[in-house]
Structure 1
Amino acid sequence: MRKSPLFFAAAVLLASLSAHAQNTGNIRYKWHDGQGLMHFSDSLTAEAMKYGYDLVNDRGLVVQHVPRQLTPEERIAANKLAAEQAAKQRAAQEIASAEAQMLAAYPDEASYKLSLQQQLDTIDQQIHTTQINLRSQEKALTDLLGRAADLENAKTPVPKFLVDSIAQQRTIVTEQRNALQHEQALRTQTVQLQAKQLARYREIKAAQAQPTE
């Protein structure tokens, strides 16, 4: 029959306590119950494990404290807290690693500022391209609307293909305008982010420049 992990954990705990007892003399178990009353026992009881207990040697000194068993809800909360702490530690390590790589790639402020400017230049080039495309699409829409207006002025019905072309062109123009707004917003956000990045770069460099005791 396959034994559960709890069985092995209990076996390990009992073996540890047995070894500890051999090294420290006679061991008794002391604990407080749910009403706060103190108990002593020569053997480990379920109640002691429930509330947590102290191992007391033959001189009455506490040689080890074993915390109480956690409830399933408490174990879930403890595991969640441990996972959150581990995630924070990983994030801090990743930031430290990224900052170390940044300092290695840009040993002085001038080189770092140049890299930041290159990022902005890339966004500016994309904005310029979008603006050119938008003007071209707006002109195409204007031409289509002009053709439709000429037909209407001539009392000639506007053909369906022209109506459909105007609707399609309006959609293209709207998409281009939205893209331009997004790129401009991205540039603004990038400028704000770069200001913080540059301040952090200067802070790290200043810390490096301080003499170590």
Structure 2
Amino acid sequence: MAHRNRMILAATTLALGAGLASSVHAQSTQKKVYCWNENGRKICSDALPAAAADAARTEISAKSGLATGQVARALTESERADAAVSAVVARRQAEAEAMQSRRDLAMVESYTAEVDLRRAYGERTTLVDESIKASQLGLSNLRLSLIALLRQAGDWELDNKPVPKRLAESIMQLHNDLLRQQQILAEQEHDRKTLGAELDDAVARYRELKTSEAGDSATAATQAPLPAR
């Protein structure tokens, strides 16, 4: 029994020794040397101090002496903020390009000929023109109503009487409505001016997509296998 225990103890000791040697060997093979610049001087060390943790550095294998990696310096708070803004801009641009691609595809699928596309824009132009006319008419009516209320207020003042509160509130409300209607009209007129340029751009994209589609069809036709005789 004692002999058996001694054998077990010896085997355990050998296993622990082998494990320790393996661990020491692994640590020696994984050990690195770090090189970085500090105040214009190149410094290399097998330990990276806290002061150099954010510095750009080269990592070198202590066993082979070869560089195993490059670590860029840590970004400053301002640089991180700029990078975040750039990422947002890039994502939005990619989303806009994807949206434009979907619109182009829908445009090609919706209009079989360029004349159909132009007709659709003509209908949009007509709707915008009608909206502008309605806004102009509404604006004219608001002006007339406001002038009438202002005359009433003027009559009260000519009689050396205070303008009634309800009348003053109506004048203020009409004035605000007039400003809003002017803003709506300005936006409609801007949309009307941009419709022409939008149509030109849409026609150019439509022609380009149709040409590409025709080219793909021709290529597919030439590459199709000949029917068996």
Normalising TM by the smaller chain, what interval?
Answer: 0.5 to 0.7
Q: Superposition pairs for residues 54-203 of structure 1, below 5 Å?
A: 54-57=58-61, 58-68=63-73, 70=74, 74-107=75-108, 108=111, 109-133=114-138, 178=182, 180-203=185-208
Asked whether 1:35 is paired with 2:39, we answer yes
Matches of 1:193 and 1:90, distance apart in 2? 24
Q: Which amino acid in the other structure matches residue 84 of structure 1?
A: V
Does the 8 A contact of 1:31 with 1:48 survive in 2? no
TM-score with structure 1 length normalisation?
A: 0.56
| Contiguous gaps of at least 5 residues in structure 2 | 1-24, 153-158, 220-229
Q: 1:203 to 1:97 in 2, by over 3 A?
A: same
Does the 8 A contact of 1:133 with 1:176 survive in 2? no
Per the TM alignment, residue 138 of structure 1 is displaced from its structure 2 partner at its CA by 7.2
Asked whether 1:45 is paired with 2:49, we answer yes
Per the TM alignment, residue 123 of structure 1 is displaced from its structure 2 partner at its CA by 0.9
| Contiguous gaps of at least 5 residues in structure 1 | 1-20, 149-156
Does the 8 A contact of 2:118 with 2:199 survive in 1? no
Matches of 1:50 and 1:98, distance apart in 2? 40
Secondary structure at the residue paired with 1:60?
coil
Secondary structure at the residue paired with 2:34?
strand
Instruction: Deviation per CA, 1:51-99: give whole Å up to 9, x if none.
Output: 332221223210112233x3xxx43233223322322332233223222
Per the TM alignment, residue 141 of structure 1 is displaced from its structure 2 partner at its CA by 8.6
Q: 1:75 to 1:210 in 2, by over 3 A?
A: farther
Per the TM alignment, residue 34 of structure 1 is displaced from its structure 2 partner at its CA by 1.8
TM-score with structure 2 length normalisation?
A: 0.53
Instruction: Deviation per CA, 1:117-168: give whole Å up to 9, x if none.
Output: 33222211112323444566678899x6xxx9xxxxxxxx9xx99xx7xx95
Which structure has more RCO (C-alpha within 8 Å, separation ≥ 6)? 2
Over the matched positions of the two proteins, sequence identity in percent amounts to 19
Instruction: Deviation per CA, 1:148-207: give whole Å up to 9, x if none.
Output: 9xxxxxxxx9xx99xx7xx95x95996698354553333113333443344344445455
Does the 8 A contact of 2:35 with 2:42 survive in 1? yes
**What is the aligned length?**
175
